[in-house]
Amino acid sequence: MAAENFWRMGADRDCFKTYERMAVKYERFNDYETASYFHQRCLDISIEFKYLEGEAQSHRGLGICEEKVFNKFPAMQHLETALEKAQKGEEDDQVRPEVGRVISKDLVRVY
């Protein structure tokens, strides 16, 4: 509910963070289907508000959820997209450099 209120107010980062916290919470319960839903909501918000780091983080989350349920190829696709977004964002100073490094490690693990 809080995330939707933030979205209505145009507080994109607060909305993103709230959905991300929910995704992480469900990942801890090994409920990757529900976690993927919240990562997808994060991605939707990030695209709508043109938040490039959020897009990278969301694709990373989706990739990790796919990896955990042994869907290797969708996991690779999401992580590759996440890395592309992170690298593009680093060039424009919209994404912190450590985001790309973390995604690279995840991608190597999935390969």
Q: What's the CATH code of the domain at 101?
A: 1.25.40.10
CA-based R_g, the chain, Å = 13
- Domain encompassing residue 28: 2-110
- Whether 51 and 12 have beta carbons less than 8 Å apart is answered as yes
The pLDDT value recorded for residue 101 is 94
Please name which of 83, 111, 78 lies closest in space to residue 99, comparing C-alpha atoms.
83
Based on the structure, what is the number of domains in the chain? 1
Is the pTM of the predicted complex or chain greater than 0.85?
yes
Q: Please report, in tens digits, the pLDDT of each residue of the chain (111 residues total).
A: 777 777 677 667 788 889 899 999 999 999 999 999 999 999 999 998 888 999 999 999 999 999 999 999 999 999 999 999 999 888 878 888 899 999 999 999 999
Determine the Cα–Cα distance for residues 109 and 95; give it in Å rounded to an integer: 22
Cα 53 to chain centroid distance, Å, stands at 8
**Are 103 and 60 contacting, i.e. CB atoms less than 8 angstroms apart?**
yes
Q: For residue range 68-81, list pLDDT tens digits in order.
A: 999 999 999 999 99
